[in-house]
Structure formats: C-alpha cells, structure tokens
Chain A
C-alpha cells in the first residue's frame, strides 16, 4: 500500500514536472498550426515589417501606409516575403503587422506554395528579442468589431465577412455569383 502511494506520488510529480517543462516551453516554442494547405511549410523567422510599395519603388509613407498598404517581411539577407494571410477567417496580415511598422519581429506561421506563388500566413507575432507572449495574429477581428460597433468580446465578430457593410453593399449589387441578382435567383431555383 505504502509502495502504491509512493508510486502515485512519483507519477504525480513526474506529470507535474512534465507539465511545467511543457508549459514553460510551449510559449517560447510556439509552433504554427497546420492548416493542410497546398505546399505547406511551417516557418519561424525574424524580419523587419516593411511597406511593400515603399520597398519596391521608393514611394514611402511615414507609417507604412497606416494600414492602407500591403506589408511585407524583409529578412536580414534581403528577401522580401509577402505577408498574405493572418489567423482570422478571410483576412490578411496588415492589421497584425502595422503596429510593428519598420520594426523587427519574430513571426511564426505557414508558407503555402503552389502554381508559382509562395505566400506566408502569419499565425503568431512578437517583437524580436522580447520574451513576452506571442500575439495570435487575429487582431483584425477586434479592430473590425470596434470599427463596426460590435462587442469585441462577442463571438459575433467571427462572422464579420457576412456582416461587413462593404461586402453587403457589393453582394447586394452584384449577387453572390457576381452576375447580378437575377442570376442568383436562377441558381437558387435550380437547387
């Protein structure tokens, strides 16, 4: 009986120690989640957040375009990587990176490569050298909620793409097929 108690205690200690070690490591070793996308490659690297238009042409805005322009990740060896996607549904990476304009960050995410394109999805980001927590790259949802009068804490923001006034206006005019409301009606009637 005494032996069993000792065994349980040892097991509990081992599990606790394991959980602590894993817990300590899981934050700094934040690894990208697989999305099973084509040509998927998980990657973590350091790079400077740049305004792509500025980088290519010299047409620069002081604040990287203030969120209006696409942003890239420029590595120390001069490779420009397009930050194409974030970790929120149907959204890009600008909201995630614009707070770090011209700063060096560590990003964690996925490349997808297909048909001659190699694009990067940012899943997590943090300033280089900072021991703090990774920031999940879904800031877009909170920004969208605030801009559209939706409670940022509510789940309603997750379906932003169907409620966004810009989207609603385009789909009302063009239809979900883009061929006009009559084509939508014909499609639905045929289902």
Chain B
C-alpha cells in the first residue's frame, strides 16, 4: 500500500514536471543527428521578403546583402534542398553565432554539413559538427534578378 502511494506520488511529480514550462523545455530539447545539404543564407531577408521575393534573396544576386546581414548579426541559416531552414548556432567548436567571421566567408555557398538539430517552437536550430563539403556559390541568381538590393552595385 505504501509502495503504491509512493509510485502514485512519483507519477504525479513527473506529470507536474512535464506540465511546467521548465518541463516542456526539457521535453523539447532533444537533438537529432542529421546531414544537411543546402545554401547558407540570410534568414530575415528570406522570411520578410523586404528586399524582394524569397527566391531572389538567395545566391549570387543577394550575396553582398547576405554578408552585410551576417556581419550585422542577423542569424544565418542553411536552406536545405527540401526547403527546411536550419538556424546555425555553432560551427565546430566555435559557438559564435552572432557575426561569426567564419560564417561570413561561406555566406551563399552550397554546403553539406553534419550536425545536431534541435527543434523548438517551430524552428530548427543547428549545431554544425563538421562542414563535409563546400561547393561555393552555385545559385547564379543574379542572372535572373540582378543585384539585390540594386544600391549594392558599385558606381563606376
């Protein structure tokens, strides 16, 4: 009888933990190992379309703006081939996700990375273990869209 009461109390405690915000945090923070191939990109211009349509703010057309935004600390993502965006929080041992100079240098490139993904409240957060390959910029979007924003073109 005493054992039954103890078990009931433990179950109630576990349920209470799950129902608290802190409990939900722990439940949500489960990592998944993935290999992702896609384009390194700027999350704000892609989502807001403030500079142009989402397809226009990828690749070479938007490279310079993507570098500006990465330097300004706008979170950088990887747009995978299946259309999912993964927000980069870590690159190897380097945990600088705000204006990381290493990330600036690979902006707009097509990369394949291995890492851990945490899914939380509708977003995917990526901790890159390793960049498996870097093909450079393969999306020659400037052929369709020119340079976005146009004021980024140097005056001759």
* A57-B68 contact, Cβ under 8 Å, with A65-B95, A117-B123, A121-B44: no
* Cβ–Cβ < 8 Å partners of B134 in chain A: none
Assess whether B118 is in contact with A38, with CB atoms less than 8 Å apart. no
* Cβ–Cβ < 8 Å partners of B90 in chain A: 53
Assess whether B71 is in contact with A79, with CB atoms less than 8 Å apart. no
- B 3-51 contacts with A by CB, 8 A: 21-22, 24-25, 29, 31, 43-44, 46-50
Most buried by A among B98, B105, B156: B98
A70 to B118, CA, bound (A): 15
| B64 touches A (CB below 8 Å) | yes
Assess whether B68 is in contact with A69, with CB atoms less than 8 Å apart. no
Q: Which residue of the partner chain, among B21, B75, B83, B95, contacts A82 with CB atoms under 8 Å?
A: B75
A155 to B104, CA, bound (A): 25
A114 to B136, CA, bound (A): 26
| A107 touches B (CB below 8 Å) | no
Q: Which residue of the partner chain, among B29, B67, B74, B125, contacts A167 with CB atoms under 8 Å?
A: B67
Assess whether B120 is in contact with A56, with CB atoms less than 8 Å apart. yes
* Cβ–Cβ < 8 Å partners of A56 in chain B: 29, 89, 118, 120, 125
A113 to B46, CA, bound (A): 10
Q: Which residues of B contact A (CB under 8 A)?
A: 21-22, 24-25, 29, 31, 43-44, 46-50, 54, 60-61, 63-65, 67-69, 71-75, 83-85, 87, 89-90, 95-99, 101, 104-105, 107-109, 118, 120-123, 125, 127, 136-137, 140, 142, 147, 152-154, 156
